[in-house]
Chains A and B, each alone.
Chain A
Amino acid sequence: MVLRKSPQTLKEMVDASQRAYDETGCYAGIMDLEAKESDPLKYELFHSRILSSLISGRETTRMISASPFVREVAELCIGIYTPEGDNIAQSTGIQVHIATMGEVIKWMINNEYETKVGIADGDLFCSNDNSIAGLHPADVYDILPIFWKDELVAWVCTVIMEIDIGSVNPPCMAVPNVERATDGIRICAEKIGSRDEIRRDFEIRIERTIGMYQTFLLDRKGAVAANIRVREETKNLIGEFGLDYFRQTTRELIEDERRTQLARIKQRMVPGRYRNVTAVELYLKDQPVSWLPGKVDTVRLMPVEMTVEPSGTLSIDFDGTGEWGWHSMNATESGVRGGLSIGLVQSMCYDGRANLGSLLPCQLNVPIDTVLNPSRVLELPTANIWTSTIQVFNHWLTLIGSAFYLRGYREEVFGFRTSFGFQASGYNQHGMKGAFLPVAIAGYIGGCARGVADGVDMGAAYYTPEPDIGNFEVWEMFFPNLDLYRRIDPFSVGHGRFRSGASMNGIWTPHLSQFLMVSSAMGGGAVRLLDNTALFGGYPSGRGCTMSLSQTNIKETVEAGNPLVLDIGHPAHLEFPKHVEGQLTVHDKIVIPAEVHEGDLLITITPSGSGLGDPLDRRPESVLPDLENGFTTEEITRSIYGIEVEFNEPTEKWEIDEMTTTINREDKRKQRLARGVPMRQWWGNARQRIMEKEIDPLLKDMYQSSMKMSANYTQEYRDFWALPDEFVF
């Protein structure tokens, strides 16, 4: 069934475009920006009309969807694509998906959808299969072709993150999965409707597969409405500007952005090699699993190296990354490209012009069969692809930030850490079974220090430029919970001359649910390790974790009319257990779901980003507003920053003792010189321990896995520690 009557098939167009790029180095072989150069105002008007249609489409979805993910946090995004699946422009929102949605279109084309499935005006396609392309399966793509008369001239795609996709364990980013089937529903670039209407049989499948099918289906309708709105505006544009202009200019916008991106790199960076390393962890050895090979604890190293090439292109290499495993942290090359896509939007391409052209000057090397790119992905769970992807790109941001710093554009230096919390499944307050993930926690987190200022306090999320907690009363309408506590935690901060943003912690209790179970929501991969994202003498912030207090006396306290004291307080001397009876458990992460009851306290300890620069170089006056606003404490101010402060009771103001501060800081520098040992000496001792393999078995396995995957990593490891050629762990 071929409904498109163009002289070329879509597959031929994809191949021709790629050939032209390979031959010329310019997108689609566009050597001259004719539309831009002949009439720049018309060109800008054309782009702004496209962009405004995407943003208004996104707002349309927010009005239709019932999901708090969409309405409160705006976990969605819309992009428009060439017939070949190349992104032309994108709305605001979770822009991590912009490249990957285009990859789904290309996959459809390469899998002969044009002839074997049919692509017609009004057809609706849907996909959440991240082994085709995408991030985690909770992100559902709705795809609509745009026809002008009989010719397919563009595609529009909307992504929405779903609360519930019918996975086995709670809820949409299920942690303990060891098999692909347990991830929930898989929609594999499927045609789900025609003539702008979702097929009834698809709706029936959703109704009978997913607990919270209403939100899932309303989200589809919201996405389809947005896509239709963009399609109609695109047709208006073609009517006004002409089809030839549309064809030429949509492609020129990509080539224009490619050139701009190269210019940005050469203007803002310094060529050279930049390196960092991180790891992901998951502990399943002592947990029940449905597939016994998954019953292991896993730590996998993920080095990241960025080379700013003399040409101005970026080579990003993950050589040395450890192997894939039977766990939910496996990523895909497509997902890694998604991480890069949003990273570039956040760090360089924030002028509204980001599209495929932003990515073209970047080459990725994601070695096959590593945890970032398993070849057996069709057998594996990938519900937490985000865990490894966001972890590695948080660290990549330190590389790009260092390159900006070297060039003098310190105001562009920034970074993120990711959120931490609970996800749940069970019955809601209306007796309906469903899944619950309060992504409001995305808004809890403080970002890394910037190059010229402290980090953003709360509301710094990598995956969206617009993190928002939303209205908690609305969250409580959807989830059977009561939000009891949120407070800025001064102990969340990563210290430095510029500190990280501070994060908030939270406490909630189940409410009016006949049965509820929770596990951790894994935003990032580090559990027992810390992120290595601090720059130039700043400290990474401490770890995040979850805690629970069960069998509490909260019900009795409330019934007696006594106050509830729920402050978390100092991390070494927790406050709330002194006031609420119960059994406290500190979890690294709850992998396997645990049953919780009304009155239990579920506590999120949120990490923050990292600091920048030596804390002893922090301007003493900077701590005064921090003390007044609860972003630091007198204890931290003195012990970390060497700043002596005193609270003046009559004026109710903090004051700095400058003389003592100077002495304190000089003492601290002397203490460093006294306790620091020459590197040569430390190297000898550390080398001896490595030679004798005196490290944790988990780490031996981690290093061995990286060595198995990479000859280069192996050689560098042996070279640094001067180990024999045959050394293995």
Chain B
Amino acid sequence: MSYSKEDLRDLYNGTLPWGQVKEIMSNPKDDDRFDKYIEILQESVLWEERILMPLGEHIFVVEKDGERITKCDCGHEFGDWRQNWKLNALIYVRDDRVKLEEIYPGIRCPDPDICEVREYYCPGCGALLKVESVPVGHPPLFEILPDIDVFYREWLGTPLKHEKEFKDRTYEVTREWGKET
């Protein structure tokens, strides 16, 4: 089972006819998907660094100078992929009724006393990378931390050159911020 890159690109863009989408959903999975996926993503950006893993619609973990960083398709770099990329994003918080009702008018509006809706933007292009709806005071979530070396080494059988420790390094940044405060 295998699909052309053109069909997969259309699938991701939402332009593949529904009959084919349904067929892809129902069929056994195509084992070469990840390779083609990465090729499609790589062809969609203008920069050269190798994409190791997507983290969303616009951001990827890429290999750069022996390091791994999170990078937007516009070229903006967010730093070590093991640190929550949100620490280097722009944030806009909908924390009152006026701001919330721009999205959730009238009876659809949550209660800003306990709920806030956070929007994270790429500082390079203004893409909306993530919307987070959490109780006020909750730390921003580090939703996805892929174990890239295990994936490439043990699951794909193609180990990467510069293996890195699998570790959440977000708090190293916030502790530093704390010292500066």
Would A699 and B136 count as touching, CB distance under 8 A? yes
Q: Does residue A472 face the partner (Cβ distance < 8 Å to B)?
A: no
- Interface residues on chain A, size class: 35 or more
CB pairs A–B below 8 angstroms (12 shown): A277-B134, A406-B53, A537-B57, A617-B57, A672-B119, A676-B119, A676-B123, A679-B89, A679-B140, A680-B87, A696-B114, A723-B178
**B53 surroundings in chain A (CB, below 8 A):** 270, 406
Would B129 and A537 count as touching, CB distance under 8 A? yes
Would B129 and A722 count as touching, CB distance under 8 A? no
Give Cα A541–Cα B135 distance, bound, in whole angstroms. 16
Would A545 and B14 count as touching, CB distance under 8 A? no
Contact of B175 among A277, A408, A570, A722 (CB under 8 A): A722
Give chain A interface residues in 206-221, CB to chain B under 8 Å: none
Q: Does residue A529 face the partner (Cβ distance < 8 Å to B)?
A: yes
Give Cα A716–Cα B138 distance, bound, in whole angstroms. 11
Q: Does residue A416 face the partner (Cβ distance < 8 Å to B)?
A: no
Q: Does residue A410 face the partner (Cβ distance < 8 Å to B)?
A: yes
Contact of A405 among B54, B125, B174 (CB under 8 A): B54
Would A539 and B131 count as touching, CB distance under 8 A? yes
Of listed A301, A399, A669, A722, residue having the most chain B CB within 10 A: A722
Report the minimal beta-carbon distance from B61 to chain A, rounded to whole angstroms: 10
**A530 surroundings in chain B (CB, below 8 A):** 104, 110, 115, 117, 133
Q: C-beta contact mask, B69-94 vs A, less than 8 Å → 1, else 0?
A: 00000000000000000111111110
Q: Does residue B144 face the partner (Cβ distance < 8 Å to A)?
A: yes
Q: Does residue A158 face the partner (Cβ distance < 8 Å to B)?
A: no
Report the minimal beta-carbon distance from B165 to chain A, rounded to whole angstroms: 13
Given the contacts A529-B133, A613-B57, A716-B171, A721 and B139 also touching, CB distance less than 8 Å: yes
Report the minimal beta-carbon distance from B17 to chain A, rounded to whole angstroms: 11
Give Cα A451–Cα B31 distance, bound, in whole angstroms. 19
Q: C-beta contact mask, A402-437 vs B, less than 8 Å → 1, else 0?
A: 100111111110000000000000000000000000
Report the minimal beta-carbon distance from B110 to chain A, rounded to whole angstroms: 5
Given the contacts A279-B135, A412-B25, A530-B133, A571 and B181 also touching, CB distance less than 8 Å: no
Give the interface segment out of A59-67, A107-115, A227-235, A681-689. Answer: A681-689
Which residue of B has the minimal Cβ distance to A613? Answer: B57
Give the interface segment out of A74-82, A439-447, A490-498. Answer: A490-498
Give Cα A613–Cα B13 distance, bound, in whole angstroms. 11
Of listed B34, B145, B154, B174, residue having the most chain A CB within 10 A: B174
Given the contacts A453-B21, A572-B101, A703-B137, A673 and B126 also touching, CB distance less than 8 Å: yes
Would B139 and A271 count as touching, CB distance under 8 A? no
Would B110 and A542 count as touching, CB distance under 8 A? yes
Q: Does residue B48 face the partner (Cβ distance < 8 Å to A)?
A: no
**B138 surroundings in chain A (CB, below 8 A):** 277, 301
**A722 surroundings in chain B (CB, below 8 A):** 174-175, 177-179, 181
B: residues with CB less than 8 A from A are 8, 11-16, 18, 21, 24-25, 29, 31, 33-34, 36-38, 53-58, 86-93, 101-111, 113-115, 117, 119, 121, 123, 125-148, 150-151, 154-155, 166, 168, 170-171, 174-175, 177-179, 181
Would B21 and A411 count as touching, CB distance under 8 A? yes
Give Cα A539–Cα B14 distance, bound, in whole angstroms. 18
Give Cα A276–Cα B141 distance, bound, in whole angstroms. 7
**B24 surroundings in chain A (CB, below 8 A):** 411
Which residue of B has the minimal Cβ distance to A569? Answer: B106
Would B115 and A529 count as touching, CB distance under 8 A? yes
Give Cα A608–Cα B91 distance, bound, in whole angstroms. 25
Report the minimal beta-carbon distance from A549 to chain B, rounded to whole angstroms: 13
Report the minimal beta-carbon distance from B158 to chain A, rounded to whole angstroms: 14
Given the contacts A529-B110, A542-B110, A619-B14, A271 and B105 also touching, CB distance less than 8 Å: no
Would B131 and A538 count as touching, CB distance under 8 A? yes
Given the contacts A411-B25, A696-B136, A572 and B131 also touching, CB distance less than 8 Å: no
Q: Does residue A241 face the partner (Cβ distance < 8 Å to B)?
A: no
Would B107 and A622 count as touching, CB distance under 8 A? no
Would B107 and A406 count as touching, CB distance under 8 A? no
Contact of B90 among A539, A574, A672 (CB under 8 A): A672
Which residue of A has the minimal Cβ distance to B127? Answer: A614
Report the minimal beta-carbon distance from A573 to chain B, rounded to whole angstroms: 7
Would A682 and B93 count as touching, CB distance under 8 A? yes
Q: C-beta contact mask, A658-677 vs B, less than 8 Å → 1, else 0?
A: 00000000001110110111
Which residue of B has the minimal Cβ distance to A586? Answer: B107
Q: Does residue A31 face the partner (Cβ distance < 8 Å to B)?
A: no
Would B114 and A570 count as touching, CB distance under 8 A? no
Would B143 and A274 count as touching, CB distance under 8 A? yes
Which residue of A has the minimal Cβ distance to B8? Answer: A408
Q: Does residue A474 face the partner (Cβ distance < 8 Å to B)?
A: no
Give Cα A25–Cα B90 distance, bound, in whole angstroms. 47
**A684 surroundings in chain B (CB, below 8 A):** 177, 181
Would B104 and A452 count as touching, CB distance under 8 A? no
**B139 surroundings in chain A (CB, below 8 A):** 716-717, 720-721
Would A452 and B114 count as touching, CB distance under 8 A? no
**A452 surroundings in chain B (CB, below 8 A):** 11-12, 14, 16, 21
Would B144 and A406 count as touching, CB distance under 8 A? yes
Would A679 and B141 count as touching, CB distance under 8 A? no
Of listed B31, B103, B119, B147, residue having the most chain A CB within 10 A: B103
Would A676 and B92 count as touching, CB distance under 8 A? yes
Give chain A interface residues in 315-365, CB to chain B under 8 Å: none
Contact of B34 among A407, A543, A682 (CB under 8 A): A407
**B115 surroundings in chain A (CB, below 8 A):** 528-530
Which are the 6 A-B pairs with shortest beta-carbon distances?
A: A722-B178, A542-B108, A676-B90, A408-B37, A572-B106, A669-B126
Would B174 and A719 count as touching, CB distance under 8 A? yes
Would A720 and B91 count as touching, CB distance under 8 A? no
